[in-house]
Structure 1
Amino acid sequence: MSNPLLQLRPLGQSLWYDNIDRAQIKSGQLHRLLEEDGVVGVTANPTTFEKAIRAGHAYDEQMHQLISEGKSAKDICDLLVTTDIRTVAEMLYPVYESTGGQDGFVSLEVSPELAYDTPRTLEEARRYWNMIARPNLMIKIPGTPQGIAALQQALTESINVNVTLIFSLENYHRVAEAYVSALEVRLQRGQDIKHLASVASFFVSRLDVLVDSLLEDKIRSTRDSVEQHKIASLQGKAAIANARLVYKEFREVFSTAHFASLARAGGKMQRPLWASTSTKNPAYRDVLYAEELIGPNTVDTMPLETIEHFRDHGQVHLSIEHDLVEASNILTSLEQVGISYEKVTQQLQEEGIQKFAASFSAMYQGAQDKQRAMGTV
């Protein structure tokens, strides 16, 4: 296997593609990613859809039809998005069947504007689940306290959930607990748990972006060269350390005797999904995060650019559990230099929700702009 992407699967990592774009579906590019690069799942978020709908003319034909039916911009966006999701779900269904429901999923996000509203998040999750009506759909729900309550209820209703925008260890632990509790509830009711699936999307590179900027501030604020060197040595380290400790927590949660009883009844692990694995800092290796987080029972959802870089020069080895003591020491050292892990991860979750909510609004605005361009508004 000369393609490094194809070497991930034998090591237990599933490659998912972080984008949905109708132009890529029509051109056959998505099909090639499935066939040639070993992609076994697809994730979407408001930002990728907003860009896709604004760009080019791939959606024009359906938009003309929906406009002629008198649909609002919001309804048009809903129908454009769910059409793509359903198409991709059908493309991935053979993977879903051949992997016994382990992979072959496509994810669709409820509006992040509802991230702090449990009832409305649940309402949207149910609406999308019933509208798309595919067993290999996952509904993306943010890992806020309100979102965790919603995702636990959605799982008990047999709705597959991709829990998104997780940044901290504590947040991850609460998400994993909610998933296990949902399995328990269904089993106690005598309901099937074999076909229920969930992943916990842990965001990676954004942590380094924020922490590195804070470290730069710390370096500028001192003239002590020893202290400057100590602080600089932490740059580019936080994100990988954080994810490795999450994987350690994952191993602990899903290796207990308690979970083993759920597994015997058909319950699947809630795998960690590494999101935001593109490298934001050009000073770092362009496949840094993808290379350093490879391990069994994980998913990496990569954007196209990262897939292309990894295909070209990715180095594949079991890396996820490398030097866990050092990973813990890095987070401790960050606290020692005055960077609060709790504050940073909370800020990132809040900013992530704000950015995705803004993309939802931009997507609706994009639909309105196209309506105007078509002379119908």
Structure 2
Amino acid sequence: MNPLLQLLEHGQSYWLDNLTRGKIRSGELRRRVTEEGLRGVTSNPTIFNKAISQSQDYDEQIQQLIDEGRSSDEIYEALVIRDIQDACDVLRPVYDESGGLDGYISLEVSPHHAHDTLSSVAEARHLHSAVNRPNLLIKIPGSPEGVPAIEELLFEGINVNVTLLFAIDSYEAVAWAYIRALERRVEMGLPVHNIASVASFFLSRIDVLVDQLLKERMQSGAAPSGMRPEELLGKAAVANAKLAYQRFRAILQGERWQALAARGARVQRMLWASTSTKTPGYSDVMYVEPLIGPDTVNTMPDETIAAFADHGVVRDTVAEGVDEAQRIMDELARLGIDFRQVTDQLLREGVQKFVEPYDALIKSIDDKRRALHGAGRTASAGMRPGAGK
């Protein structure tokens, strides 16, 4: 049996971390849903930049929007909204069959709003209304400014994918924001059974940075006597995720959550993101196999999905090795690696890594506007009376 299909038996859904118009039009997305157990899709400015700038799939719509006098920002939004709507429609059967557990497509607010609560809320409302699909998740970073936006949006009934989580206490702040939002809905007599959210914990980026710090200590010989930094290479991200999952379980056992669950509230599932292996020599399924278990989602790029389908091993693992995970984090601290500084840096870099492709995408649309506008003028010139005579 395909390991991807086995994941659901262990309480985990897998989502695709890639959305392009080509996948939708070719039927590939629908095939993955019906034949390979795909249960959701995530997107971000990097993905859309590649999709729009590196294909001609969008040129016809871009030309139409140019003819309507739309700005580059308006063109970007129109392109993305169409893809998100079409993908939501493909995944709608999963949403319906799962009772709203899965079948979601995630759409990011502009990364330029990451540190502005009010503008994040305003754009999320706008995108939610424009897409107009029940299986849409709006992505909001789990930054200090993002937490109140997340709470407000969930209170208003807008489903949220909380993104760019690296630190456990940042996750905990998001989890309590979810609970507060649902409690506010209960106080207002509003339903809570139809509110959905995932908390996206990023993985590979942690190992890339921590490995760099470990190698600095290996090269300098600065490690305390008896410690071997090389033994910790590639282990920080999964250890951090396992400890975050323990915090997640503890919150679910609390009275406040139990009161909401009794009213039909859905769990805010843990989602493992940034799951492609970045370091040569590491296992290509190192961010999938150790983190399988109840109430989780793993969103994977195409290459990780293919690798796991080929040789992934499925069993409940996310709650295993908690003591070892804590030992790894303690050892990093003994080596002088301040994990709070690591996660703060990754959050800053994570926002910037979405700002840059977003800006590059707008520039790509500008370039396409100029190229297509020029082509349109050439074609029009060729159609003028007397042209070519």
TM-score, normalized by length of structure 1?
0.97
Question: Take 1:253 and 1:37, find their aligned partners in 2: how far apart are those partners?
Answer: 33
Gaps of 5+ in 2: 376-389
Mapped contact 2:217–2:223 kept (Cα < 8 A):
no
Among candidates 282, 285, 297, match of residue 284 of structure 1: 282
C-alpha deviation, 1:134, in angstroms: 0.8
Partner of 2:114: 115
Count, aligned residues = 375
Residue 257 of structure 2 corresponds to residue 230 of structure 1? no
Supply the AA of the counterpart residue of 2:344.
Answer: Q
Question: Pairwise mapping of residues 66-81 of structure 1 onto structure 2 (< 5 A)?
Answer: 66-81=65-80
C-alpha deviation, 1:190, in angstroms: 0.3
C-alpha deviation, 1:280, in angstroms: 0.6
C-alpha deviation, 1:223, in angstroms: 7.4
Residue 266 of structure 2 corresponds to residue 268 of structure 1? yes
Residue 276 of structure 2 corresponds to residue 296 of structure 1? no
C-alpha deviation, 1:259, in angstroms: 1.1
Question: Take 2:115 and 2:279, find their aligned partners in 1: how far apart are those partners?
Answer: 31
Partner of 1:90: 89
Partner of 2:2: 3
Superposed CA RMSD in Å reads 1.3
Mapped contact 1:164–1:202 kept (Cα < 8 A):
yes
Supply the AA of the counterpart residue of 2:334.
Answer: Q
Question: Take 2:247 and 2:371, find their aligned partners in 1: how far apart are those partners?
Answer: 51
C-alpha deviation, 1:282, in angstroms: 1.5
Partner of 1:216: 215
Question: Take 1:252 and 1:96, find their aligned partners in 2: how far apart are those partners?
Answer: 28
C-alpha deviation, 1:224, in angstroms: 7.3
Matched residue of 1:246: which SS?
helix
Question: Take 1:90 and 1:32, find their aligned partners in 2: how far apart are those partners?
Answer: 14
TM-score, normalized by length of structure 2?
0.94
Question: Take 1:149 and 1:224, find their aligned partners in 2: how far apart are those partners?
Answer: 41
C-alpha deviation, 1:207, in angstroms: 0.3
Q: Deviations over 1:247-288 (max 9, x none)?
A: 111111112232111011111110000000111111101111
Partner of 1:322: 320
Matched residue of 1:282: which SS?
coil
Supply the AA of the counterpart residue of 2:267.
Answer: M
Supply the AA of the counterpart residue of 1:278.
Answer: S
Pick the structure with greater CA Rg. Answer: 2
Question: Take 1:133 and 1:24, find their aligned partners in 2: how far apart are those partners?
Answer: 21
Question: Take 1:355 and 1:209, find their aligned partners in 2: how far apart are those partners?
Answer: 15
Mean alpha-carbon deviation: is it higher for 322-331 or for 257-266?
257-266
Question: Pairwise mapping of residues 23-172 of structure 1 onto structure 2 (< 5 A)?
Answer: 23-172=22-171
Distance 1:285 1:186, change over 3 A: same
Mean alpha-carbon deviation: is it higher for 203-212 or for 21-30?
21-30
Q: Deviations over 1:317-354 (max 9, x none)?
A: 11101110110111111010010010000100110000
Q: Deviations over 1:54-107 (max 9, x none)?
A: 011111111111111011111000000010000011111111111111101110
Question: Take 1:288 and 1:96, find their aligned partners in 2: how far apart are those partners?
Answer: 29
Supply the AA of the counterpart residue of 1:301.
Answer: T
Matched residue of 1:39: which SS?
coil
Supply the AA of the counterpart residue of 1:367.
Answer: I
Gaps of 5+ in 1: none
Matched residue of 2:14: which SS?
strand
Q: Deviations over 1:108-131 (max 9, x none)?
A: 000111111001000000000011
Question: Take 1:163 and 1:356, find their aligned partners in 2: how far apart are those partners?
Answer: 15
Supply the AA of the counterpart residue of 1:73.
Answer: S
Partner of 2:251: 253
Distance 1:225 1:339, change over 3 A: closer
Distance 1:346 1:224, change over 3 A: closer
Question: Take 2:302 and 2:35, find their aligned partners in 1: how far apart are those partners?
Answer: 14
Question: Take 2:311 and 2:225, find their aligned partners in 1: how far apart are those partners?
Answer: 36
Question: Take 1:257 and 1:152, find their aligned partners in 2: how far apart are those partners?
Answer: 19
Supply the AA of the counterpart residue of 2:301.
Answer: P
C-alpha deviation, 1:39, in angstroms: 0.6
C-alpha deviation, 1:299, in angstroms: 0.3
Mapped contact 2:137–2:197 kept (Cα < 8 A):
yes
Question: Take 1:8 and 1:47, find their aligned partners in 2: how far apart are those partners?
Answer: 27
Supply the AA of the counterpart residue of 2:314.
Answer: V
Mapped contact 1:67–1:376 kept (Cα < 8 A):
no
Question: Take 2:76 and 2:35, find their aligned partners in 1: how far apart are those partners?
Answer: 31
Supply the AA of the counterpart residue of 1:272.
Answer: M
Residue 55 of structure 2 corresponds to residue 18 of structure 1? no
